Amino acid sequence: MKPYLGFKKTIEISRETIQALAREYLEQLYDEGFRIFVILMGHYGAEHVKALKEVAEEFLKNHPDAKGIFAPDPTFLAKYNIPGGHADFYETSLMMFFRPELVDLSLLPRDREITIEEDGIGGGDPRNASIEEGKRIAELIVEELAKEVESLLGELKG
């Protein structure tokens, strides 16, 4: 967000760094005998998704005996019509479930709509987020991701 909207208190990691880290992890895991790889991207930016997918394609091309899933977390929720956003209802609900002590909804404005430009929040209103919804979202992601991993395991065995 920093290079695009100039938000303060934001750290932006370069494409090159993201790709170098991903390559190192994948290669070292491969060297240890792993053949199924999952990179689940949460609180992602479109450019980071592209960068990681480029590394994934290159990695799988160089290691034809490997299989992988490389996708942002909302990918696994498409059939449930649960869209991801940026610090929105979706992400805030997940954060409330995993680390509730890091969420303080009282800091959000009460007298106006929340916007990406003013608040860095885009998508569903985080003021409606809940621990229960975060739990439901997390469980659905794990359930759907597990199905895909099981399918890849079948391909490796088959």
Segments making up each domain of the chain, as ranges: 2-157
The residues, ordered by sequence, that sit 6+ positions from 81 with a Cβ below 8 Å of its Cβ are none
Looking at CATH, the fold of the domain delimited by 2-157 is given as: Rossmann fold (3.40.50)
Q: CA–CA separation, 94 vs 136, rounded Å? A: 9
Task: Check: CB of residue 61 under 8 Å from CB of residue 93.
Answer: no
Q: What is the mean pLDDT of residues 88-99?
A: 96
pTM to 2 decimals?
Answer: 0.86
Per-residue confidence at 14, pLDDT binned at 50, 70, 90?
confident
In angstroms, how far is CA 39 from the centroid of its own chain? 8
Per-residue confidence at 4, pLDDT binned at 50, 70, 90?
low
Q: For residue 61, give Cα distances in angstroms to 54, 55, 64, 154.
A: 11, 10, 6, 20
Task: Check: CB of residue 69 under 8 Å from CB of residue 150.
Answer: no
pLDDT of residue 6: 67
pLDDT of residue 7: 67
pLDDT of residue 5: 64
User: Quick one: tokens of 13?
Assistant: 């990691």
Q: Is the pLDDT of residue 130 over 80?
A: yes
What pLDDT, in 10s, does the model give residues 16-38?
999 999 999 999 999 999 999 99
What pLDDT, in 10s, does the model give residues 29-82?
999 999 999 999 887 778 888 999 999 999 999 999 999 999 989 889 989 988
Task: Check: CB of residue 108 under 8 Å from CB of residue 145.
Answer: no
